Amino acid sequence: MQDFNYHTHTFRCGHAEPGSDEEYVLAAIEYGYKTLGFSDHAPYRKWPKKTIHMNWEDLDDYLTSIRDLKEKYRGIIDIKVGFESEYFPYELDERKELRDMCDYLILGQHFSDPVGSKCSYFRNNTDEEILEYAEMVCAGLDSGLFTYLAHPDVFMFKQQEFTPACERAAHMISRKAAETNTPMEMNVRGVTRGKVQFKAGEAYYYPHLPFWQIAAQYPIRAIMGIDAHAPRDLIDRQSVIDGFRELEPLGLNWIKEPII
């Protein structure tokens, strides 16, 4: 299993649990991680939304806090600072600005606009919305800004079946990830939600096995991301084990060394 995690949030996004940045670091040390990357939900200057992502005025505090912890724990754990961000073409310059401030960006497409008012992918979506998600993800991967793709199968959240549109989206995303050599994440937060009943049987919303069965047809690289929203998430060994076990039969090319 990985001894690094790049998908870690903080209280600043407005939906993670209370807890100091240092508590995440101490939990990661307890688990045995050698590298911990913070990647809180990136802010937007023009789109304040405290319950979806951090606000722009929190940016300096976030960067300063993580960089201070990096120095404090140097030699004990390697700490990186980044962001998880959607891709919106009209916000590209601002995403580039953020990329210059940090070590990495993760592509996590949760919404089709910066405030989540047009379409959220955390609900039952139409075929058109699922394909829109895939198109936005593919454009984000083509941008070259992102180190890896978080929860590529998140569009299955609240779905009832893996439809032909879902299959098409899986092929689009996996093909583009292979073309751009961008790793795709097996997201452990999806495991903690437990399996639910789909028309075809029990499965996780994500990592959703039918999606990954398609992904395995492409020369992709896979990476594990805790998607921690509380310090205790970093020491939940069983969810990590269950996630790897779910995808183990597919023979994916897992990343085993730090990539940042």
Residues 15, 52 contacting (CB under 8 angstroms): yes
Q: Which domains are delineated in the chain? A: 4-254 (3.20.20.140)
User: Cα(169)–Cα(202) distance, rounded to whole angstroms?
Assistant: 21
CA angle (100 as vertex; 57, 225 as ends), nearest 5 = 85
Residues 147, 82 contacting (CB under 8 angstroms): yes
User: Cα(254)–Cα(184) distance, rounded to whole angstroms?
Assistant: 10
pLDDT tens for the 260 residues of the chain, in order: 789 999 999 999 999 998 899 999 999 999 999 999 999 999 999 988 778 899 999 999 999 999 999 999 999 999 999 999 999 999 999 999 999 999 999 999 998 888 776 777 777 889 999 999 999 999 999 999 999 999 999 999 989 999 999 999 999 999 999 999 999 999 999 999 999 999 999 999 999 999 999 999 999 999 999 999 999 999 999 999 999 999 999 999 999 999 99
Question: What's the pLDDT score for residue 113?
Answer: 82
Question: What's the pLDDT score for residue 103?
Answer: 98
Question: What's the pLDDT score for residue 121?
Answer: 77
Q: pTM value?
A: 0.95
Question: What's the pLDDT score for residue 51?
Answer: 87
Question: What's the pLDDT score for residue 115?
Answer: 77
Question: What's the pLDDT score for residue 244?
Answer: 96
CA atoms within 13 Å, Cβ hemisphere of 214: 21
